[in-house]
Structure 1
Amino acid sequence: MNHVLTSERLGLRPVTAEEHEVLFAHWTDPRVRQFLFDGGVLAASEITEAIDGSVRGFASEGYGIWVVRLRESGEAIGVAGLRPLEELGLEVFYSLNPHVWGRGLATEAARAVVDYGLDVLGLPRVLAEVDEGNTGSIAVVERLGMTPFAVVPGVLGPMIRYRVSR
């Protein structure tokens, strides 16, 4: 199965161990992690675990973490992926470097991942869980056609759960 995804402006490839520094720099940026990891900072060993888990996930289940790159320059600008959301199914997640915010790239990356989940993996639905205060991500999931179905408590406050299906 081909796990490489492309969109008009982006290329998404499964993360590899060689991209540890890329993920470390991205996930430790205070602006990026504001709504990720409950605001905590990941240790280098946790990033290694995330990469290793993604490699195993792509091999066995067909999903994990993609590094998002601009097609024109090849610059790594963030990550997107699929992961289990409790027993409910798979959720899309994404985070981009602040210098590319506001250009529709998060929606473009997330759409590629959602389409992959629904079309390639044949999922009945794709979920998202967004901090209530994360207005940027709420706008992204709404542009993806996702609709809210629950509000649950989170460490940083209420979390809104969304879903989309074909």
Structure 2
Amino acid sequence: MPKRPSTFLETDRLVLRPFTDADVPHLLALDNDPEVMRYINGGRPTTADAIRDRTLPRLLHDHPCTGTRGFWAAEEKATGTFLGWFELRPLADHDATVVELGYRLNRAAWGRGYATEGARALVDKGFADLGAERVTANTMAVNAGSRRVMEKTGLTFLRAYTEDWPDAIEGSEHGEVEYVLTRAEWEARQA
């Protein structure tokens, strides 16, 4: 049996751990669910080659400024079931002050509070241990579920904006939204 990667972070119900090459089948299943990918690429299928050649290298990237990766596989603590991934990634490799929060969970994990639980734990770790001064998160304006998670995590709406999508997907005409949480706001909530 392969050795389990070391745990980066645990919550009451989740284990966040570094990705390995063995996660390719999990990532392939996750990125081939049209509902999971609806607000990412319009639900188009992803190939195993794309996972191995583009996705996995991004998930395995170490950030010198934090001494960690920016993406972690999420497993249900009780069962070890792969649920998806979380991101708390510095926007610049050598500057830990501004980090991006993200998450992608399989449909079986939706509506169970996992996204909020994992996101809150990562935000806390970012401010407490990783040198973050600002956490930012973005999604399509029409992605109500992701926006709710951002709000429950403590981020507040900053702005709406539009981007040029190489391949427009349903809802992209409504633009994007950015949410943010600063260290000062986070510290005020800890008091």
TM over 0.5: yes
Structure 1 SS opposite 2:25: helix
| Partner SS state of residue 109, structure 1 | helix
State the partner residue of 1:135: 144
Q: Tell me, what secondary structure is at the counterpart of 2:102? A: strand
User: Is residue 12 of structure 2 the alignment partner of residue 8 of structure 1?
Assistant: yes
TM-score by length of 1: 0.87
Q: Which runs of 5+ in 2 are unaligned?
A: 1-5, 166-171, 184-191
Decide whether the 8 Å contact of 2:32 with 2:43 is kept in 1: no
Distance 1:59 1:26 in 2: 28
Partner residue of 2:47? 43
For residues 4-153 of structure 1, what are the structure 2 equivalents within 5 Å? 4-37=8-41, 39-48=43-52, 49-57=54-62, 61=66, 62-83=68-89, 89-153=98-162
- Cα RMSD after superposing both structures: 2.4
Contact 2:32 2:46 in 1 (8 A): yes
Tell me the distance in 2 between the aligned counterparts of 1:59 and 1:14.
15
**Structure 1 unaligned runs (5+)?**
none
Runs of 4+ in 1 over 4 A off after TM superposition: 58-61, 84-88
Tell me by how many angstroms 1:12 deviates.
0.6
**Number of aligned pairs?**
165
Q: Could you tell me whether the CA contact under 8 Å between 1:147 and 1:162 is conserved in 2? A: yes
| Identity fraction in percent | 33
Q: Offset at 1:60? A: 6.9
Q: Could you say which structure has the larger radius of gyration?
A: 2
| Helix, strand or coil at the partner of 1:89 | strand
The answer on whether the counterparts of 1:114 and 1:126 sit within 8 Å (CA) in structure 2 is yes
After TM superposition, the score normalised by the length of structure 2 is 0.77
> For residues 69-128 of structure 1, what are the alpha-carbon distances to aligned partners after superposition, in whole Å with 9 as ceiling and x for unaligned?
110000001111134558993211101111221111110111122222222211101100
Q: In the aligned structure 2, how far is the partner of 1:161 from the partner of 1:123?
A: 17
Query: Aligned residue for 1:160?
Result: 177
Contact 1:20 1:47 in 2 (8 A): yes
Q: 1:91 to 1:37 in 2, by over 3 A?
A: farther
Q: CA deviation at 1:30?
A: 0.5
Q: Distance in 2 between matches of 1:85 and 1:37?
A: 21
Task: Give the counterpart letter for 1:33 in structure 2.
Answer: M
